[in-house]
Chain A
Amino acid sequence: MPTSTHAIRAEGLLKRYGDKTALDGFDLAVPQGMVYGLLGPNGAGKTTAVRIMATLLRLDGGRAEVAGHDVATEPRKVRRRIGFTGQAPAVDEILTGRQNLRMFGRLFHLSQALAYSRADELLRQFDLTDAADKGVKEYSGGMRRRLDLAASMILAPKVLFLDEPTTGLDPRGRNEVWSAVRSLVAGGTTVLLTTQYLDEADQLAERVAVIDHGKVIADDSPVALKQRIGGDQIEVVLQESVDLPVALPVVAKVAAAAPEVDDENRRITAPVEHRVAALTEVARTLQDEGIGVEDIGLRRPTLDEVFLRLTGHRTGEEVSA
């Protein structure tokens, strides 16, 4: 049966909480061996999707296959092939790091000897050997998350689900977790990672699905997603905001799509096709018209902008259904 080359395949997932629809025809196909980012604002349905695929939540419709097994009919088989880390690090606070990993090893039905040696191995892999015999209470956020990841890796699962693994971590903690995730993928694990941080998806994910209102609305590589809204962007910042109405048609003339105006920052942004020609023309025309320019330049769009274009609202904004 596990003939599919996809580590995860979800078709038309439906999930309702009362009359609230959390997943509304969610489709996903994750090829083996990559980090796949699931990107979406608060309440988009990321956690719901991950929990269904990790067998924690029953679905109301559709089907999902993880590591070759159906989550609804073969949950135990799925559980032996996945690792799951939820939105908060799920480790025992009172036990030491080592005691945690030994306990989870036993609960994964490793023999005592194997559970012990696997714990030591994972502590080394996740750089926790020095803190191994301290209570988890004394761990930093990044250390907790790494222990949490280690606990998910005990059976070296084929598929690892990470729900917002770096939320609440300082930059140092984020970097620690990112490099831990990279080394897992180097070892062949498929990772499905949800995040609200676009730079995280940019940094880690080979492919990204953008989810909004319980549906995948775009699914591509970060680079392709950025290209989708037009390659380069011209960005003009004026000295006086009164000049915005005059400068707008100047930019619009060279733009590939309608420019966006940010009144507060006196900024006009627009996608352009011929970057250098557009830049020279706008710079010259504005100078001829005597409009004071504070800054002008070209840049690639951020995933933030991609997101705004795709969903019509920024990340982090609460979606009202």
Chain B
Amino acid sequence: MSTSAIELDVDAPERRLHWALVDGWTVARRTLTHLVRQPTNIAWQLGFPIVSVLLFGYVFGSAMSVPGGGDYREYLMPGMFGMTMAMGFMNTAYAVVIDSTKGLTDRFRSMPMAPSAPVTGRGLADIVSATLDLVVLALTALVVGWRSDGGVLATLAAFGLLLLLRFALIWIGILLGLMAPNEEAAGGLFAVAFPFAMISSVFVAPSQMPDWLGAIAAWNPVSSTVTAARELFGNPVATSDTWIEQNAMLMAVVWPLVITAVFVPLAVRRFQRLSR
């Protein structure tokens, strides 16, 4: 094929948005193809929450009490959903660090594609795979007897808030992925992700923790999302009458917006610094 046979699209300014969307979708499809080619990865990814469901739901479940009453497993499930979303940023960070250490990020940057595409594509793919995670988890939850007593809209709203949290954390994942020098360092993020997800209302109500820890747990964005989801699902909520716990629904929207507003510029700046 001669060079002239490859027609180049002239990237006029009015085509920029078009290519930003098309290229973002191409990059997202790449990650989604990974899911198809390596379905066992999803199993690994979901292994942790599913094992936790069984451990906490059955092994400890009978010993756990929900303040204000209610079935512990009903209480636990929205927590598991929230924990999976909260820890999802590790997948983002891991994928980003692999792309930069393998030189793929550089290849993208040396190409005439939309510069935003690696980031938007990553975000889109992560939301799709997080949705898949939630579907699998919800089915597991249904099997062990969890039910949403909220209406269809409330139930969808709850899942929407969970995905909103995951979306906000994508930017932290991208930032950490760009900062990590190698895959091992990205693996070490587990040490951050685990307490971040655990010191929250995921497993037990903050009111059952020592005061100082309970305060941290109550203000953890994960708690707001999980509490809001419990309210929408009509599951046991077990909140104290502190402001932060009474306004979970509000904070489940505010926290992700704040996180996004803070971390998008940081991630973008870090990305631009690659050319320093």
Contact = CB atoms under 8 A, between A and B. Distances in A.
Interface string B5-44: 0111101000000010011001101100110011000000
A103 B112 CA distance: 14
Contacts of B23: 106-107
Given A76-B11, A94-B38, A155-B6, A107 B109 contact: no
A7 B109 CA distance: 21
A80 interface: yes
A93 B9 CA distance: 28
Output the residue of A51, A92, A99, A103 with the most chain B CB within 10 A.
Answer: A92
Interface in A44-71: 51, 54-58
Interface string A65-104: 0000000000010011010111111111111000100011
B275 interface: yes
Contact of A89 (B103, B110, B112): B103
Nearest to B2: A156
B108 interface: yes
Contact of A135 (B37, B109, B274): B37
A136 B47 CA distance: 27
B104 interface: yes
Contacts of B29: 103
A108 B103 CA distance: 17
Given A95-B37, A108-B113, A155 B8 contact: yes
A85 B27 CA distance: 19
A113 to B, nearest CB: 12
Contacts of A90: 102-104, 106-107
A109 interface: yes
Nearest to B105: A90
Nearest to A122: B1
Interface extent on B, as a size class?
A: 20 to 34
Interface residues of chain A: helix, strand, loop or mixed (majority) = loop
A79 to B, nearest CB: 4
A156 B3 CA distance: 6
A56 B273 CA distance: 11
A103 B111 CA distance: 12
| Interface size of A as a range | 35 or more
A118 B6 contact: yes
A296 interface: no
Given A90-B102, A106-B26, A58 B275 contact: yes
Contacts of A82: 110
Nearest to B117: A107
Nearest to B4: A156
B62 to A, nearest CB: 43
Contacts of A92: 30, 104
Contacts of A156: 1-3, 6
A151 interface: yes
B22 to A, nearest CB: 8
A110 interface: yes
Best-buried of B2, B27, B108, B112 by chain A (most CB within 10 Å)? B112
B17 to A, nearest CB: 14
A107 B111 contact: yes
A121 interface: yes
Nearest to B26: A106
A156 B246 CA distance: 62
Interface string B96-140: 000000111011111111000100000000000000000000000
Interface string A102-134: 011011111000100110010000000000000
Most interface-central of A87, A104, A106, A121 (chain B CB within 10 A): A106
Q: Which of A56, A85, A117 has the most CB of B within 10 A?
A: A56
Contacts of B275: 56-58
Contacts of A109: 8-9, 11, 19, 22, 112-113
B1 A95 contact: no
Given A56-B106, A90-B103, A92-B104, 14 more contacts: A57-B275, A57-B276, A58-B275, A84-B110, A99-B33, A103-B30, A106-B22, A107-B27, A107-B111, A109-B112, A110-B6, A118-B6, A135-B37, A155-B3
16 contacts: A79-B111, A79-B112, A80-B8, A86-B106, A88-B103, A90-B102, A92-B104, A94-B34, A95-B34, A103-B26, A103-B29, A107-B108, A107-B111, A121-B1, A156-B2, A156-B3
Give 5 closest A-B pairs by Cβ, nearest first. Answer: A90-B103, A84-B110, A90-B107, A79-B112, A86-B103
Interface of B: 1-3, 6-9, 11, 19, 22-23, 26-27, 29-30, 33-34, 37-38, 102-104, 106-113, 117, 274-276
